[in-house]
């Protein structure tokens, strides 16, 4: 196939603006699925956690054919925490489809992904999605997109972007604006035609020396590691000898291609050769890594390694040392945890891992809480047991000044909750940048806030807005340290004994605070069993039982009223824990504990910290 008949596009957008649903429709309407084939919704979100949470975590490839042209599509995540996925996806495409919700308009992640695309010189096609939603305002959204492009330094060519109106969920698109509440088009044909017209085919000579950069990695138990990337120039064939180069000045290794595969729909098909512009999968090279160049041994032409933004958040991962360790997990040693983290580094380009001075404790750095908690969730599902500390931001020394990461936060809330949210963000050193009422009882607040101030904020935000608020944030640069930010307002209830929780003990503790545990749960000394009503920590007897006597009492007097416990999820635990606490994670349980389990050790460490 000539490279004139190939188009490579990435679909980029903010979270929940409909990328994956739109890709579903492109796959359906291009005839990728047979008429009788049963296809689930959001077919591209194939990972178990993606299905549960309804978000895209990993950039994924598929391909469709339209009027004889092979269109490779990369579906990218919208969360800034998975920015590493977005960056490497953009490195293998020639154009982007920027999706914007017709009601919400450009959001923080829209800014993030657009900035990356414009910097690479890619020309966007703007798709105003969900135009059939009540409250949709397509004209205002297009104007806001133009202003955003202008602010991000777009060229005149990039500012002259084509616009397509669409309803991804209903499967139609249109080049003309129609009447509100009506259907403006019949199919996705206008979008397909816009892609063919405005995305340029990749320029590259088939006869030139081979040059292909690996932008993504996969693994198969049959063939080992698989590299995914776009061929810049030259031709690649099975059985071919190649050089694997880590940039112009990095390591060089010899290799031989085993198989070459292309995408067809959601499937992969083996091919005998592929040329410029093709996005292919290759296997047979054992030490293939992210960003390396596969090139001709006789005339090597390496490309610079892919650059990925630095991590902004760090957590300590350590061996689970609690008295309940080893009961549920298969992998519990520091060596197993270290090996798993090293394996993650092979494909998770935005992650950094290093050993610390403490035995069995590793420092893991990532883009944000979601980035790190998804990794922990995957590990626990694989049978790992570990403990993690409180997330901390990564400080940087810039011109001799200690600087910290600043986030740009956008909160869409009801006007009734505005006062409480503004007060909470103000206490966390947030600065109000913009405030826009929408005229329908909701208001959009934009803040710049230290990343430290957002740790543990999402649960508070849900409570402040009664679950009706939407919040998103994006890294906005480094600035000098903003001063101390207050920590958790409540203390915790700590178990003084090991044993089993009894209903009687829960009844006695009910007026002390909310519990994390229920009757029958195992506890140990130093384990956190609940939130104290006051601001100090309290050691309690959580295994207390009723003393038996010879006297009978009426059942009415003996009835125990217990408030239902808080559901202790992984995210809640990571946000809730303080510096002297750990989150214990096993395949079946999430527990909170003090770093030092025995009370006199905790007091000694508190004295040492106060003196030091």
Q: What is the DSSP string of 418-459?
A: HHHHHHHHHHTT-EEEEEEE-SSSEEEEEEEEEHHHHTTHHH
Both tokens assigned to 328: 């549920």
Buried b (16+ CB within 10 A) or exposed e, 336-349: bbeebbeeeeebbb
DSSP code for 265: B
The CATH number that domain 492-611 falls under is: 2.40.50.250
Both tokens assigned to 459: 């649960």
Cα–Cα distance, 188 to 64 (Å, whole number) = 13
Q: What is the pLDDT of residue 540?
A: 92
Above 60 in pLDDT, residue 191? Answer: yes
Residue 530 annotated as part of some ligand binding site: no
- C-beta of residue 59 within 8 angstroms of C-beta of residue 12: no
**What is the CATH T-level fold of the domain 396-480, as seen in this structure?**
Alpha-Beta Plaits (3.30.70)
Confidence of residue 480 (pLDDT cuts 50, 70, 90): very high
Instruction: Say how many Å lie between the first and final Cα of the chain, rounded.
Output: 69
Burial bucket for residue 358 (CB in 10 Å: 0-12, 13-18, 19+): exposed
Confidence of residue 90 (pLDDT cuts 50, 70, 90): confident
pLDDT, tens digit, 9 for 90 and up, residues 297-353 = 999 888 888 776 778 889 999 999 999 999 999 999 999 999 999 988 877 777 899
Residue (of 3, 501, 475, 543) closest to 235 by Cα position: 3
Instruction: Count CB-CB contacts under 10 A for residue 324.
Output: 18
Q: What is the pLDDT of residue 361?
A: 93
DSSP code for 274: B
Domain 3-198, CATH homologous superfamily name and number: P-loop containing nucleotide triphosphate hydrolases (3.40.50.300)
The CATH number that domain 211-295 falls under is: 2.40.30.10
DSSP code for 460: H
Residue 356 annotated as part of some ligand binding site: no
Residue 130 annotated as part of some ligand binding site: yes
Q: What is the pLDDT of residue 575?
A: 87
SS3 content of the chain, % helix, strand, coil (to 5): 25, 30, 45
Q: How far is CA 162 from CA 65, 96, 149, 193, in A?
A: 22, 11, 13, 11
pLDDT, tens digit, 9 for 90 and up, residues 459-475 = 788 888 888 888 877 78
Q: What is the pLDDT of residue 39?
A: 41
Above 90 in pLDDT, residue 389? Answer: yes
What are the residue boundaries of the structural domains of the chain, listed by start?
3-198, 211-295, 396-480, 492-611
Cα–Cα distance, 379 to 368 (Å, whole number) = 17
Q: Give the position of tokens 């004889």.
A: 68
Q: What is the pLDDT of residue 102?
A: 87
In angstroms and rounded to an integer, the radius of gyration of the C-alpha atoms of the chain is: 27
Residue (of 316, 370, 381) closest to 590 by Cα position: 381
Residue (of 418, 477, 406) closest to 448 by Cα position: 406
Residue 19 annotated as part of some ligand binding site: yes
Find the mean pLDDT for residues 246-274.
Answer: 87
Q: What is the pLDDT of residue 249?
A: 83
**3-state secondary structure string across 383-422:** CECEEECCCEECCEEECCEEEEEEEEEEEEEEHHHHHHHH
Above 60 in pLDDT, residue 269? Answer: yes
Cα–Cα distance, 296 to 232 (Å, whole number) = 12
Torsion angle of the four alpha carbons 247, 248, 251, 253, in this order, in degrees rounded to the nearest 10: 90
Cα–Cα distance, 467 to 83 (Å, whole number) = 27
Q: What is the pLDDT of residue 46?
A: 42
Cα–Cα distance, 50 to 31 (Å, whole number) = 25
Above 50 in pLDDT, residue 47? Answer: no
Confidence of residue 80 (pLDDT cuts 50, 70, 90): low
Burial bucket for residue 258 (CB in 10 Å: 0-12, 13-18, 19+): middle
pLDDT, tens digit, 9 for 90 and up, residues 481-522 = 988 887 778 899 999 999 998 888 888 888 899 999 998 899
Instruction: Count CB-CB contacts under 10 A for residue 295.
Output: 24
Residue 21 annotated as part of some ligand binding site: yes
pLDDT, tens digit, 9 for 90 and up, residues 540-578 = 998 888 766 555 554 544 566 788 888 898 888 998 888
Cα–Cα distance, 76 to 17 (Å, whole number) = 12
- pLDDT averaged over every residue in the chain: 84
CA torsion sign for 278, 280, 284, 285 is positive
The more confidently predicted of residues 545 and 96 is 96
Residue 75 annotated as part of some ligand binding site: no
Residue 383 annotated as part of some ligand binding site: no
- C-beta of residue 313 within 8 angstroms of C-beta of residue 372: yes
Residue 429 annotated as part of some ligand binding site: no
Residue 16 annotated as part of some ligand binding site: yes
Cα–Cα distance, 144 to 364 (Å, whole number) = 38
DSSP code for 276: T
Q: How far is CA 228 from CA 279, 291, 398, 415, in A?
A: 7, 10, 36, 47
Cα–Cα distance, 279 to 387 (Å, whole number) = 40
Cα–Cα distance, 8 to 195 (Å, whole number) = 10
Confidence of residue 55 (pLDDT cuts 50, 70, 90): very low
Both tokens assigned to 562: 């217990």
Cα–Cα distance, 368 to 370 (Å, whole number) = 6
Above 50 in pLDDT, residue 43? Answer: no
Cα–Cα distance, 100 to 89 (Å, whole number) = 19
Strand partners, 233: 211
Confidence of residue 226 (pLDDT cuts 50, 70, 90): confident
Cα–Cα distance, 225 to 135 (Å, whole number) = 48
């Amino acid at each position: 196939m000539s490279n004139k008949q190939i188009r490579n596009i990435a679909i980029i957008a903010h979270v929940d603006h409909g990328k994956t649903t739109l890709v579903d429709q492109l796959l359906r309407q291009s005839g990728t699925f047979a008429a009788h084939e049963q296809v689930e919704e959001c077919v591209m979100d194939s990972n178990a956690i993606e299905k549960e949470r309804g978000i895209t975590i990993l950039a994924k490839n598929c391909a469709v054919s339209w009027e004889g042209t092979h269109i490779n599509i990369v579906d990218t995540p919208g969360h800034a925490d998975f920015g590493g996925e977005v960056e490497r996806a953009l490195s293998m495409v020639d154009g982007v489809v920027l999706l914007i919700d017709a009601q919400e308009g450009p959001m923080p992640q829209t800014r993030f992904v657009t900035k990356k695309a414009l910097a690479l010189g890619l020309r966007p096609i703007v798709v105003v999605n969900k135009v059939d939603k009540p409250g949709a305002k397509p004209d205002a959204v297009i104007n806001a997109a133009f202003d955003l492009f202008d602010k991000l330094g777009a060229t005149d060519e990039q500012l002259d972007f084509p616009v397509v109106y669409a309803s991804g969920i209903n499967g139609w698109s249109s080049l003309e604006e129609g009447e509100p509440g009506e259907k403006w088009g019949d199919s996705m044909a206008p979008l397909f035609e816009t892609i063919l017209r405005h995305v340029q085919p990749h320029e590259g000579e088939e006869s030139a020396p081979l040059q292909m950069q690996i932008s993504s990695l996969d693994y198969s138990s049959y063939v080992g590691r698989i590299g995914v990337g776009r061929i810049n120039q030259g031709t690649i064939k099975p059985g071919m000898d190649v050089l694997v180069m880590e940039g112009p000045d990095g390591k060089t290794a010899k290799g031989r291609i085993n198989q070459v595969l292309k995408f067809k729909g959601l499937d992969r098909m083996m091919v005998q050769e592929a040329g410029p512009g093709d996005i292919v999968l290759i296997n047979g090279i054992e030490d293939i890594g992210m960003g390396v160049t596969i090139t001709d041994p006789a005339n090597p032409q390496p490309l610079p390694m892919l650059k990925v933004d630095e991590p902004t958040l760090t957590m300590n991962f350590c061996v689970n040392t609690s008295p309940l360790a080893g009961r549920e997990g298969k992998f519990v040693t520091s060596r197993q945890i270290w090996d798993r983290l090293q394996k993650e580094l092979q494909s998770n380009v935005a992650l950094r891992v290093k050993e610390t001075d403490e035995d069995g404790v590793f420092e893991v750095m990532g883009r944000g809480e979601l980035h790190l908690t998804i990794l922990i969730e995957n590990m626990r599902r694989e049978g790992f047991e570990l403990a993690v500390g409180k997330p901390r931001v990564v400080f940087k020394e810039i011109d001799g000044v200690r600087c910290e990461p600043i986030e740009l936060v956008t909160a869409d809330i009801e006007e009734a909750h505005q006062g409480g949210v503004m007060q909470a963000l103000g206490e966390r050193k947030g600065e109000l940048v913009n405030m826009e009422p929408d005229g329908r009882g909701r208001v959009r607040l934009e803040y710049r806030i230290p990343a430290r101030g957002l740790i543990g904020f999402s649960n508070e935000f849900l409570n402040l807005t009664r679950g009706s608020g939407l919040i998103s944030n994006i890294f906005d640069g480094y600035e000098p340290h903003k001063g101390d930010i207050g920590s958790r307002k409540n203390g915790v209830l700590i178990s003084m004994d090991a044993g089993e929780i009894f209903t009687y003990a829960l009844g006695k503790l009910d007026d002390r605070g909310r519990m994390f545990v229920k009757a029958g749960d195992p506890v140990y000394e130093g384990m956190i069993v609940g939130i104290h009503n006051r601001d100090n920590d309290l050691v309690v007897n959580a295994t207390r039982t009723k003393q038996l006597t010879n006297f009978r009492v009426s059942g009415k007097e003996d009835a125990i009223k217990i408030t239902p416990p808080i559901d202790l999820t992984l995210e809640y635990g990571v946000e809730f824990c303080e510096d002297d606490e750990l989150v214990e994670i096993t395949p079946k349980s999430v527990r909170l504990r003090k770093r030092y389990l025995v009370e006199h050790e905790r007091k000694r460490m508190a004295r040492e910290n106060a003196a030091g």
